[in-house]
Amino acid sequence: DTGVSQNPRHKITKRGQNVTFRCDPISEHNRLYWYRQTLGQGPEFLTYFQNEAQLEKSRLLSDRFSAERPKGSFSTLEIQRTEQGDSAMYLCASSLETTVTEAFFGQGTRLTVV
Amino acid sequence: GQNIDQPTEMTATEGAIVQINCTYQTSGFNGLFWYQQHAGEAPTFLSYNVLDGLEEKGRFSSFLSRSKGYSYLLLKELQMKDSASYLCASYNQAGTALIFGKGATLSVSS
């Protein structure tokens, strides 16, 4: 296993279009997180899955955003009706199911909305 | 609630020592993480402190004081490749979200 994998690495879309990103976590990791990061800021938490259950959602996750992890393995993050303010790096991370442990990040998907 | 504060920018020269501070306020404390992030790349884990004191790992050391809500990352023998953003993070009380500070951008010059 080479780590957390995200694709695409880059996505340019027109305002109003829908986009979907995929994250493949490290295989034995039960926990999966999505973050958004803009220039000069730290990663902002969006949502958390434990296996297939979405257990935590940030207020940043508007109703245009939806995330799934149908079989408890890979996850998708969809943004509907994209806006220019959605332009950011979308990071996925995974971790083992222990009380507290470090999260391992993927390379991210950079979204540009034009 | 949770709040994590870090300086935004720091500069240092090759071979020097730099200390990057982090202050935090959390509802329930589960330990303090430090991550390194080079421009355009993913954050990578550096260290984790849950007990007070200094943890040394090669050129990098991390310190925690739970009573003061304070941590620092100490980088010794700085190299150009250490130019990066250094992120301080802690889990929320439920342990379901790792919350990050804005990161301190370190620039190392020759």
For the record, the structure tokens of A16 come out as 């109003």
Between CA A114 and CA B2 the distance in angstroms is: 34
Closest chain A residue to B50 measured between Cα atoms? A100
Phi-psi region of B31 (alpha: psi -120 to 50; beta: other; left: phi over 0): left
List chain A pLDDT tens, one digit each, 114 residues. Answer: 579 999 999 999 999 999 999 999 999 899 999 999 999 899 999 999 999 999 999 988 889 999 999 988 999 999 999 999 999 999 999 998 766 678 999 999 999 999
* DSSP letter (8 states) at residue A40: T
For chain A, say whether B44 makes contact (Cβ under 8 Å). Answer: yes
Between CA B70 and CA B22 the distance in angstroms is: 6
What's residue B100's pLDDT?
94
Q: What percent of chain B has pLDDT above 90?
A: 81
Average pLDDT over chain B, rounded to an integer:
93
Q: Are A62 and A80 in contact (CB under 8 A)?
A: no
pLDDT tens for B22-59 read 999 987 788 999 999 999 899 999 999 999 999 999 99
pLDDT tens for B94-105 read 888 889 999 999
For chain A, say whether B41 makes contact (Cβ under 8 Å). Answer: yes
For the record, the structure tokens of A107 come out as 């390379």
Which residues in chain A have their CB less than 8 angstroms from residue B89's CB? 42
Higher pLDDT, B7 or B2: B7
For the record, the structure tokens of B95 come out as 């342990």
What's residue A99's pLDDT?
61
Q: Would you call A85 helix, strand, or coil by DSSP?
A: helix
Which residues in chain B have their CB less than 8 angstroms from residue A99's CB? 30, 95
Give the β-pairing of B53-57 and A31-37.
unpaired
Between CA B34 and CA B22 the distance in angstroms is: 10
Q: Would you call A86 helix, strand, or coil by DSSP?
A: helix
